[in-house]
Structure 1
Amino acid sequence: MVLDADDWVDQRLVEVTRATMTLDHAVGIIQAGFAVDIRNLYAAPLPHPRIFPEPFHRICGSSAIFWLRPNEPDPLRRDPYQRLHEHYRLNEAAAEAQLGVTGLPVSGGYIVNTDDSHSETYGPYAQWRRRFNQAVQAIGEPIDERFAARFGLSLAQLHSDCGGRAGRYEGALPMSSPAE
């Protein structure tokens, strides 16, 4: 799993992955999760028809667990990430490579409205990302203790790390995929 500063991991990830993936699977995919506005402490489920209607892995790069098998003679089975690194087309690439995929029944947290995400500020879809963030803030619900605990956090930690809320966005919402 490739993990960076704009992702949260469900506390049950390892347990569920071990129980779900079999020798037939090269990758497990988190198909649903949350967009988390870290500045305002709001979260919205993904997919969501008014925010991002596609599966979670199409927007969050840290949504796949690759089963690395060092002793496997087939290079694709040894390290499937080499072929399946494009998270937005995991299912298609796995089908092309004839590698097994399974869904993982856990949630991911995709952190938005942060200075830690290069793609929000400088990426090719930076304007779309700003509208995405506004939609999360407008549609999302305030994070509570139960939600934070799902990712091994507490609400007190989030408040101290994030400095409180700036308010809910009230403007017009986007919604389409970034490439549209």
Structure 2
Amino acid sequence: MDKALLHEMITELQQRTKAGELDRIQRIEEITALSDAYFDAVGEHPDSIALERMANLVIYEEITNPHPDKMAREEYPIMSETQREERIKSEASEKLAEEYGADGRNYKVPTRRKRSSYEEKFVDRAARARNKERRNRYNDFVKGKTPGQFTVNIATGEKNWVCT
């Protein structure tokens, strides 16, 4: 028996397992017999790839269980690679645990978002319009065209004017 024949026999065991012909006890017995026959013929244990394939056959039911909640349903669950990747994708980062309180409120330090160029133009246009109107009212007040009151806070030097 050589490596190629060993891998062919493991592939045949996989096909029989997928077809449902072998239960776990029968698979373990056949895998043990296969690895013993390989050791008797070659004088060394099978390579790591063959051993991994045989181990996956032993735990075939656990690996192929597609149920999304098997981590909670089983005492010692075994995930396949794709299930592990899906679980990692769906997990929340620890950063969220640092930022959210037990009350569900976000206590993260607030950050301002950057305005888009459209928003910047809109804000500038609105500010210019308000400033123009304010400047016109102030000029009218200074020239005496409109009544109002001009006050200066002596302590702070702040100047206020109110048009009425």
TM over 0.5: no
Q: TM-score range by the shorter chain?
A: under 0.3
Higher strand share: 1
When normalised by structure 2's length, the TM-score is 0.24
- When Rg is computed on C-alpha atoms for both structures, the one with the higher figure is 2
When normalised by structure 1's length, the TM-score is 0.22
Higher helix share: 2
Q: Which has the higher contact order (CA 8 A, sep 6+)?
A: 1
